[in-house]
Chain A
Amino acid sequence: MHYLPYGVAAWIFCVGIYGAIVSRNLIHLAMCLAVTQSSTYILLLTIGYRKHGTAPVFKGFENRTRGVDPVVQALTLTDIVVSVTVIALILALALDAHRAAGTVDPDELVGLHG
């Protein structure tokens, strides 16, 4: 349990990369990259967790010394919103490739054609 979250994050990272390597479809590849990115969120949040800690929102609370780390939460929440647009950019590239070559299979998209 002491190192399980880090192991889970590493596992999800490697599984996402493996899925991207053996992908047959550019859209499937984009979703695998999203899975890989989510493993970094898990890693960040579990690094900042403190045992018996509370959420870093202190409305009506006096004791503020036992909260979990708020800095990693700030990093993660902006990253989640931004990752949508980046994955959308990858999907737009996939749509462009489909328009030019008629296929979204990465194995058939080799070579540059004029």
Chain B
Amino acid sequence: MSRRTLRGLLALPALGVLGAILAWGASGLAPFGHFHGFYGQLLNAIALPQRHTTNTVTAIVFDYRGLDTMGEELILFAAVVGVVLLLREAGHPTQQDIARDRVHSEALRYFGVAGAALVVLVGVWLVAFGLVTPGGGFQGGVTIASGVVVLFLTAGYRSWRRLASEHALDPLEATGAAAYITLGLATLIAGAPFLHNFLGPGKTGTLFSGGSMSLLNWAVALEVAAANLVLYTEFLQQYVVSLVPDTGEE
């Protein structure tokens, strides 16, 4: 039998043992629905009076556990740097390749631009209202990036490249990452703890209810959107390079 089937047959008992260990571990947890963790209940009760944000999850991401968010953001940054380095040598599309990626339907192009604008607007709304209703920097950032990439899908590679060129995106991404760290360091230099909420809690239910959480929110949104767009740029370059001439196969 081939090596692959041998590997598969050897893996089954090993995975069975792993599954048994996981099941034994899970049996030590509280039954589903009876969570007794104290930290979460405490944060639910005090996040609104203390920070004046109605969305407790965003308050945790940007205030109570802001340090973890900085770590996650830097993982994002490092992974995108890795992708760019790996795919830089992999070939750039020529003018001929770019000319092949054309969308032939005018209606699709116009409705696509309108749709892209709508999705970007929804993304900006998600970021802005992240402290009040479900949303926040991460969700809004990926939505903005997906709205911009709709332009590629409906208007062709050339139009998309005009909007999402590398010269524009790289500084934006770096600005987002640096802004988060700078905001934290600024409070450290001023004598307060790192990433301290220096603007103080605002009025509940408004856009500025979190103080400096809003600034961190926008920094993360900028960084996540730009990082995702850089990622899409690299991969779509690979896609356009591999388009074959119009012999019927596309």
Given a CB threshold of 8 Å, the question of whether A touches B is answered with: yes
Q: Are B65 and A89 in contact (CB under 8 A)?
A: no
> Measured between alpha carbons, how far is A85 from B141 in the docked complex, in Å?
13
Chain B residue with minimal CB distance to A106? B4
Given A71-B60, A107-B4, are A85 and B139 neighbors across the interface (CB < 8 Å)? no
Q: Whole-angstrom distance from the CB of B17 to the nearest CB of chain A?
A: 10
Given A18-B11, A18-B15, A51-B33, are A78 and B72 neighbors across the interface (CB < 8 Å)? yes
> Measured between alpha carbons, how far is A111 from B18 in the docked complex, in Å?
29
Interface of B is mostly: helix
Task: Tally B residues with Cβ within 8 Å of A.
Answer: 63
Given A48-B37, A69-B35, are A84 and B231 neighbors across the interface (CB < 8 Å)? yes
Chain A residue with minimal CB distance to B9? A22
Chain B residue with minimal CB distance to A46? B32
Q: Are B37 and A78 in contact (CB under 8 A)?
A: no
Interface string of B219-233 (1 = CB under 8 A from A): 000001001100100
> Measured between alpha carbons, how far is A47 from B31 in the docked complex, in Å?
9
B235: Cβ under 8 A from any A Cβ? yes
Q: Are A50 and B33 in contact (CB under 8 A)?
A: yes
Q: Are B79 and A6 in contact (CB under 8 A)?
A: no
Q: Whole-angstrom distance from the CB of A106 to the nearest CB of chain B?
A: 10
Chain A residue with minimal CB distance to B136? A77
B144: Cβ under 8 A from any A Cβ? no
B108: Cβ under 8 A from any A Cβ? no
A92: Cβ under 8 A from any B Cβ? yes
Interface segment out of the listed B49-57, B116-124, B155-163, B186-194:
B49-57
> Measured between alpha carbons, how far is A108 from B184 in the docked complex, in Å?
48
Q: Considering the complex, which residues of chain A in the window 66-95 have a beta carbon less than 8 Å from any beta carbon of chain B?
A: 67-75, 77-82, 84-86, 88-89, 91-93, 95
Q: Whole-angstrom distance from the CB of B40 to the nearest CB of chain A?
A: 3
Given A70-B44, A71-B39, A71-B40, are A81 and B138 neighbors across the interface (CB < 8 Å)? yes
Q: What would 17 A/B residue contacts be, using CB atoms closer than 8 Å?
A: A3-B32, A14-B19, A17-B18, A21-B7, A22-B8, A48-B35, A49-B32, A49-B35, A51-B34, A57-B57, A58-B44, A64-B44, A70-B44, A84-B142, A85-B79, A85-B227, A92-B87
Spell out B's residues near A (CB within 8 Å). 3-4, 7-8, 11-12, 15, 18-19, 22-23, 26-27, 29, 31-35, 37, 39-41, 43-45, 47-48, 54-57, 60-61, 65, 68-69, 72, 75-76, 79-80, 82-83, 86-87, 90, 132-134, 136, 138-139, 141-142, 205, 224, 227-228, 231, 234-235, 238
